[in-house]
Amino acid sequence: EYGQQKKEVEDFIIENIKEYLIIRLGKVFGLNENGGIFMEWLDKYKKNEEILCIDDEELSLTYAEDIAKGIEILMEKNKRGIYHIDSMMRRSRYEFAMDFFSYLEIKDAKIKKCPLKYFNFIDERAKNQFLDSSKFIRETNFEFTPIEECYDKIKKNLFIN
């Protein structure tokens, strides 16, 4: 339903507006307390709670600051059309969680691997949740922030207080 509504809006824009810029985003994360998946995991870790992670779907996580910079570049270059801003760093949530806590040198996080069906989502979910940003990268020469750099910022700014 939500995806269908987005498609209808995009189709309307394409059919009725001569010069448009549609930007599709991947899964976004930030580095502050409300920054998404990594902050959620750290919060659960600090509370000694189990961290349930889907292991049979892939997604791509994109740093919010990269999205802001990407949009700014598209605007400066007066680009038109449809662009995907997605880091294309593809892993399962479980793999991201294992990588994240390993990078932070946390060995006692309670990370549980779960299949997608475990969560009984109402809506049907795609097994692969990522976009192809090759057009965006090719036309802007954009370089996404390496995930390790984001982990370092989290480690310095939030976790070790």
CB within 8 Å of 64: residues ≥ 6 apart = 28, 29, 30, 31, 35
Identify the pLDDT of residue 156.
84
Task: Supply the DSSP symbol for 156.
Answer: I
pLDDT-based confidence at residue 125 (cuts at 50, 70, 90) = low
Identify the pLDDT of residue 158.
61
d(CA 52, CA 82): 34
Identify the pLDDT of residue 5.
85
Identify the pLDDT of residue 115.
83
pLDDT tens for each residue of 28-62: 998 877 778 999 999 999 999 999 998 988 889 99
Q: Compute, in degrees rounded to 10, the torsion defined by CA atoms 27, 133, 12, 73.
A: 90
- Please provide the average confidence, as pLDDT, over all residues in the chain: 89
Average pLDDT estimate for 71-98: 95
Distances (CA, A) of 153 to 37, 42, 141, 149: 15, 14, 24, 6
d(CA 90, CA 102): 18
Identify the pLDDT of residue 53.
93
Average pLDDT estimate for 10-16: 93
pLDDT tens for each residue of 92-117: 999 999 999 999 999 999 999 998 77
- For 100, the token pair is 């994240």
Identify the pLDDT of residue 13.
94
For the ranges 34-38, 82-86, 87-91, 146-150, the lowest mean pLDDT is seen at 34-38
Identify the pLDDT of residue 161.
45
pLDDT-based confidence at residue 2 (cuts at 50, 70, 90) = low
